[in-house]
Chain A
Amino acid sequence: NAGVTQTPKFQVLKTGQSMTLQCAQDMNHNSMYWYRQDPGMGLRLIYYSASEGTTDKGEVPNGYNVSRLNKREFSLRLESAAPSQTSVYFCASSDRVKGGWGGGGRGEAFFGQGTRLTVV
Chain B
Amino acid sequence: QKEVEQNSGPLSVPEGAIASLNCTYSDRGSQSFFWYRQYSGKSPELIMSIYSNGDKEDGRFTAQLNKASQYVSLLIRDSQPSDSATYLCAVKNNQGGKLIFGQGTELSVKP
* A and B assemble together: yes
Total residues of chain B contacting the partner, CB 8 A: 25
Q: How many cross-chain pairs have Cβ atoms below 8 Å apart between A and B?
A: 70
CA distance in complex: A26, B95 (Å): 24
CA distance in complex: A108, B44 (Å): 12
Contact, CB under 8 Å: A90 / B99:
no
| Shortest CB distance B92–A (Å) | 5
Please name all residues of chain B whose beta carbon is closer than 8 Å to the beta carbon of A31 when the two chains form the complex: 97, 99
| Set B8, B45, B88: member contacting A40, Cβ < 8 A | B8
Contact, CB under 8 Å: B104 / A48:
no
CA distance in complex: A45, B91 (Å): 12
Q: A109-B34, A109-B90 are in contact. Are A43 and B101 (CB under 8 A)?
A: yes
- A interface, CB within 8 angstroms of B: 31, 33, 35, 40-45, 48, 50-51, 56, 58-59, 90, 92, 94, 96-97, 106-114
